[in-house]
Structure 1
């Protein structure tokens, strides 16, 4: 067992023992072969979940600038998935807010991701690179956007459907399927 120098996670080297001397062992592979990928619920479109997962994986192995760029890409892809395709990213984020798809603090979070992503994309990091800690914060802000746009609405809809199903199955439900109103 070893510790990955980039992400500090445990790694196992599989070797074939071909003799009594340690020098006779043959390296086969590392386990895991890839860094773990963050999983998102099905409510997040697959392509967006893949890019957001890439942001997490990049951060995990120490590729800070790549992580921030993928976070910015996730923000833009999220707006496009909601039909907001015109204008620059500032306008797209503001449109998400104007259409009440996100709260004000999530709008501000998306803009912070945009600022960091723009710095990385335009090479404005030569003298002042983004730290791993700042990149981690940017990834968390990206996840706030995904939570607000895709995950929380899906959870809310699922809960509402479960409540309605429960009410419809209730012995107090009327014959025509309507439920008497609650007090």
Structure 2
């Protein structure tokens, strides 16, 4: 629920179409009643109704969380340490709003993953594509290519993607880590528990008569 939404004085730019302005926006959670504060860059369009009546629509261009400070993302502990460390560097950049650096960091995370998986190839494109031969799904291959595109654009073209676009890349990597590392570790743990239960059951049975 939005509890406050006000334009910040002196931030309106009217010589563009549509005009833009920055807004301070407070949102309150219906469930826990906690409040968050955001800085919103909005593009405003005026729609004439009749006579002197009109409405103004505001489309969000950028949204920055001011309070509480965003906690950087983390990968699951089942992922190898180096992969988690590289991802954390990208996540720190994302949380700070440095989206070019975040894109480069998430591309580097993909590079570490394909290296750890043993994918062969003379460049990152070939190594990502080779993951398919190692059992990775086409969805994971496509997700890693997306991260590669974003990192390349940030490093070589200085292209800045939006917060939502960078967040999507981070989530794609997180989902891939779930499939590649977390789920196999969980299955191994469950198999070990079943084996231990069988062993315990056998040991608990009374031995046969002499």
Between the two proteins, the alignment pairs up a number of residues equal to 147
Residue 96 of structure 2 is aligned to residue 9 of structure 1: no
Q: Which residue of 1 aligns with 2:183?
A: 152
Which structure 2 residues correspond to residues 122-161 of structure 1 after superposition, within 5 A? 122-123=156-157, 125=159, 129-161=160-192
Do the aligned partners of 1:4 and 1:10 also contact (CA within 8 Å) in 2?
A: no
Cα gap change, 1:160 to 1:41, in 2 (>3 Å): same
Report the structure number with the largest CA radius of gyration. Answer: 2
Give the gaps of 5 or more residues in structure 2. Answer: 1-36, 40-63
TM-score (ref. length: structure 2)? 0.61
- Structure 2: distance between partners of 1:93 and 1:45: 18
Secondary structure of the residue aligned to 1:136 is helix
Q: Which has the higher strand share?
A: 2
> Higher relative contact order by CA 8 Å / sep ≥ 6: 1 or 2?
1
- Structure 2: distance between partners of 1:153 and 1:132: 31
- Structure 2: distance between partners of 1:122 and 1:173: 65
- Structure 2: distance between partners of 1:41 and 1:81: 16
- Structure 1: distance between partners of 2:204 and 2:139: 41
Residue 101 of structure 2 is aligned to residue 70 of structure 1: no
Query: Among 56, 61, 66, which residue is 2:96 paired with?
Result: 61
- Structure 2: distance between partners of 1:165 and 1:123: 55
